[in-house]
Structure 1
């Protein structure tokens, strides 16, 4: 009995030591690589990858790879040959995932099609051409609730338009009319527009650097003007 206990104790200690060594190696690589890349590139973490001797490097929400000596920085995808699984893409999706409950719907323009049973959120700039293209596609979606968070990041005019839309008597209609038909926005911007400031801060926190950016209820994101077929495919996967 004592021999068995000693065996499990040795195994536990060995695993603990291995974990400690691994953590120290990761910290060493991170420090060395950070020094080489400079302060303008902030490394969030360095962890082991599925390939021996190769480590995953997280910079913002992007994934790179390096060797144990931090001599090389690799940009590309790791694909598991046996299954065809894109490990890098899966990891990237996990890093970009958010908590749907963290999105403050009170700061969004709410548009409902049909019974509104499906949900998605969009961060958009009113002067964004891709956002306008996406909005036209979304008109074909049925049974969906769309939460649009205005983030005026393109110009001073974007700020003006965002505030006018938010302050309109019917923000959702004003937004759609502008984005779809180019109907001039004539309202004032004299209401409380703190929601737009909060949206900008939230976008920064979520690492949103361009519009449109779409989020689904599982927290996954689609950057750019996604195709309607891809949106429908994603909705189907959520059932």
Structure 2
């Protein structure tokens, strides 16, 4: 009787745990061949039977159980009218930002913080400068602003060198504000997180600056005025 019960338990487990049938080694190999250097963080059943959700850094892919077919895109729940993929990506972004940590960001905090955003910025981007010129308005709304660098011209560009000089300045907040106003800073180099910021921005699908990431991991592309941003954050 115990043997029969054990067999029945395994049968039920097989039905409720489809991940047991996923060839994780094949899926990992397929993705490593497709994206050399990428690291698979997790593999678990997707909402669609026969597909597996694969997390790599700040990206989500879907794979067949044998790893032969890979899919990248948005998965929606048509009944609930919910973007399943984006909801999960938001959680992944939060984890990624926590790994970077505030010591590797330039942070402007209000006296009383109600909300927090992380902003990828380019010193020479017009709307980035407009946003920062209104930093006091964001602080007045109780929004903590955490800056990370994304010089769109790429590594080694003037914008990149400015970002490094700001980071290496004795007063980073003051240096950032001055550079946003177009003032020339003393050129400096030191150990800095600019490359790390850029890599993360690319993982997040950066297509322009500024890019605002909310505390819940949602992305707001482009400049958003302080009052409007406060309303968005209040309704998250």
TM-score higher than 0.5: yes
Q: Distance in 2 between matches of 1:94 and 1:15?
A: 31
SS in 1 for 2:219: strand
The answer to whether 1:201 aligns with 2:200 is no
What TM-score do the two structures reach when normalised by structure 1?
0.68
1:27 to partner: Cα distance: 1.6
Which among 65, 86, 105 is matched to residue 108 of structure 1?
A: 105
1:63 to partner: Cα distance: 2.9
Q: RMSD of the TM alignment (CA)?
A: 4.0
Correspondence for 2:129: 132
Number of matched pairs: 227
Correspondence for 1:156: 157
1:184 to partner: Cα distance: 1.9
* CA shift in 2, pair 1:217/1:21, >3 Å: closer
Q: Distance in 1 between matches of 2:14 and 2:78?
A: 32
- Retained in 2: the 8 A contact 1:134–1:225? no
Query: Which structure 2 residue ranges, 5 or more long, are not aligned?
Result: none
* CA shift in 2, pair 1:127/1:32, >3 Å: same
What TM-score do the two structures reach when normalised by structure 2?
0.69
* CA shift in 2, pair 1:23/1:183, >3 Å: same
* CA shift in 2, pair 1:22/1:153, >3 Å: same
1:236 to partner: Cα distance: 0.9
SS in 1 for 2:36: coil
* CA shift in 2, pair 1:225/1:169, >3 Å: same
- Greater Rg, structure 1 or structure 2? 1
Deviations 1:165-222 (A, max 9, x none): 345565424423442xx3322x3235x732xx2343365368456454434444x152
Could you list the runs of 4 or more consecutive aligned residues of structure 1 that deviate by over 6 angstroms after TM superposition? Answer: none
The answer to whether 1:65 aligns with 2:62 is yes
The answer to whether 1:14 aligns with 2:1 is no
1:93 to partner: Cα distance: 1.9
Correspondence for 1:56: 53
- Retained in 1: the 8 A contact 2:62–2:71? yes
